[in-house]
Structure 1
Amino acid sequence: MCESRPAEPNVARSPDSPESVPPPIITLLTDFGAADVFVGSMKGVILAINPHAQIIDLTHDIPAHNIRAGAYLLHSASRHFPPDTIHVAVVDPGVGSERRPLLVTTRSYRFLAPDNGLLSYILASEPKAEVRELTAKQYFLGTVGSTFHGRDLFAPAAAWLSLDEPTDAFGPKIDNPVRFEVRQPQVDEGRVVGEVLHIDRFGNLITNISHTLLREAIGTAELLKVRVRIKNTDVQGLRRFYADAPPKTLAALINSDNLLELFCNQGRADKLVNATIGDQVEVKVA
């Protein structure tokens, strides 16, 4: 029996119509870079199905195959978008294998991504999220290849979602998506121990220790006197902004995502202390 294609989208109302609604937003995050036509092809597929979609590039410069970096940046950026935004994330070293394609629905958003841990931070922050495996082939391109599911599978599924196709039509619910462990900082008598979550393009070391946790564990009055330690290197106190620290020295501050960050003014903190993702970071009153 042939699978039926979804109905063609209705002609959109004029933007001047009192009944008009904002165009649906679809974001893209990949490790595809800009040298090839991968990203452009995904956009073409989306617009061919829904020409009124508004496509936003989060980034296409995730380091190749780096699922953890993609997971962190997806979680960091996605929460700033309006409700009902559809987020497409493709960092997919297992493309073409038995790994499943996922549709995850949270309280505010829908996410399309391979089942390889890319949604770990999203699922950790949204424990009641609905997770489905994408199996309904009528929402894919006619022929799905084995090397480019971003174009053949995730892009068309996102476009059909933006046309209000119901999520339960895309595939069955599952309860065992692949996740990596999202570790939480440990607090012990005024001492907080966390780790480096992410290293950005400037070499800044972003940790999993929040400003809120530091205030609760150490106290607001003591924050300016804390000692931050990483790789046997100590930093005294917190700076207000990057230029508040002497150039070429390791320093710490609370960044705009409310997280403790180690940085080097006009330099790279990661190179200064030879740091990597997962390295321990300790904070306590000096």
Structure 2
Amino acid sequence: MTPIITLTTDFGLKDYFVGTLKGTIYKELNDAKIVDISHNVSPFNIQECAYILENSYKHFPEGTIHIVGVDSEPTPENQHIAVLVNGHYFISANNGVIGLITNEIQPEKVVELNIPNPSHGSFPVLDVFVQVACHIARGGTLEVVGKPFDQLKDLREFSPTVTDNGNKIIGSVIYIDAYGNVVTNINRNFFEAYRKGRDFEITARTTKFTKLHNKYSDIINFDLEKSQRKGAGDRLALFNSANYIQLAIYKSDLNTVGGASTLLGLDFRDTVTVTFS
């Protein structure tokens, strides 16, 4: 059975790029199964791409092949690589995306791609990555298309830091979703490891939170009369489905009332601090 091939890019859907990728895969593998993870990654945003991939690939069967079309033009410092990690294949440039995904998981294999007669045009995802994906899908090995590689780019700048003798975590915004919810790089395990049962305060610009919820509706006390309850438009902090601290506006809509990103004035890489007491 032909494995699934996923596509994650910053190409958008206006242009012909995504259709070209799919058409070429189908020409090579007429029984291919192609899944779009996202084509709306912010242009060249490595952290955003890694966040989307890290929290989606685990839901696919082992053996799935993931094509990563973000910042894919090859340079001496941005080599083309293929990686086998956690039973999944990733084909990408060595731009930090795979390093972020494998931060806590040791890859089983990493190769620098070295296919014969590669095209050196401006569309390497088509010219190189699709070829490699189809090779793997036919049962080919990584050793045939690449040589061992041990220089995965490690972007430690995107990891939260701990200061004040373990009393403060300094994190940052790594993703803003379609609702305007603001996702930080502080995950539940990291938070709990330093919290140790203490009270805390989360600060983002001038907004502060002292509670973390597990779902959005947790802010509503259903024992109160409706007029006295919190509800749509109220702010909250929660652990999202990927177990990262997220700042949100209940029932937000970026197209009308706004979301946490606009109403709290937060953007990619802005600082979010957790202070324990």
TM range (shorter): 0.7 to 0.9
SS at match of 1:137: coil
Q: What is the match of residue 162 of structure 2? A: 186
- Which residues of 2 match residues 63-142 of structure 1 at below 5 A? 63-92=42-71, 95=73, 97-98=75-76, 99-137=78-116
Partner residue, 1:46: 25
CA shift at 1:120, angstroms?
Answer: 2.5
Partner of 2:244: 259
Deviation at 1:229, TM superposition (A): 1.0
CA change 1:197–1:96 in 2 (3 A) is closer
Q: Which residue of 2 aligns with 1:153?
A: 128
Give the one of 250, 262, 283 matched to 2:235.
250
User: Pairwise mapping of residues 164-179 of structure 1 onto structure 2 (< 5 A)?
Assistant: 164-179=139-154
Structure 1 SS opposite 2:103: helix
Counterpart amino acid of residue 76 in structure 1: N
1:27 corresponds to which residue? 6
TM-score of the pair, normalised by structure 2? 0.83
1:232 has 2:206 as partner: yes
1:187-214, Cα deviation, whole Å (9 max, x unpaired): 7455443222222222211112222333
Q: How does the TM-score come out when normalised to structure 1?
A: 0.80
Higher mean alpha-carbon deviation, 61-70 vs 252-261, is at: 61-70
Taking every aligned residue pair, what percent have the same amino acid on both sides?
28
Q: Any residues of structure 2 matched to 1:179-218 within 5 Å, and which?
A: 179-181=154-156, 182-186=158-162, 188-189=165-166, 191-218=168-195
Amino acid at match of 1:253: L
* Aligned CA distance change for structure 1 residues 66 and 128 (closer, same or farther; 3 Å): closer
Instruction: Give how far 1:164 is off.
Output: 0.9
Instruction: Output the CA distance in 2 between the equivalents of 1:101 and 1:47.
Output: 23
What is the alpha-carbon distance in structure 2 between the residues aligned to residue 151 and residue 62 of structure 1?
18
- In the alignment, what sits opposite 1:7? none
Q: Unmatched 5+ residue regions in structure 2?
A: 220-229, 253-257
Decide whether aligned partners of structure 1 residues 121 and 52 sit closer, same or farther in structure 2, where only a CA change above 3 A counts.
Answer: same
Name the aligned partner's letter for residue 175 of structure 1: D
SS in 1 for 2:102: helix
Query: Contact (CA 8 Å) 2:46, 2:97: kept in 1 or not?
Result: yes
Say which SS state the counterpart of residue 24 (structure 2) adopts.
helix
Q: Give the SS at the match of 1:208.
A: strand
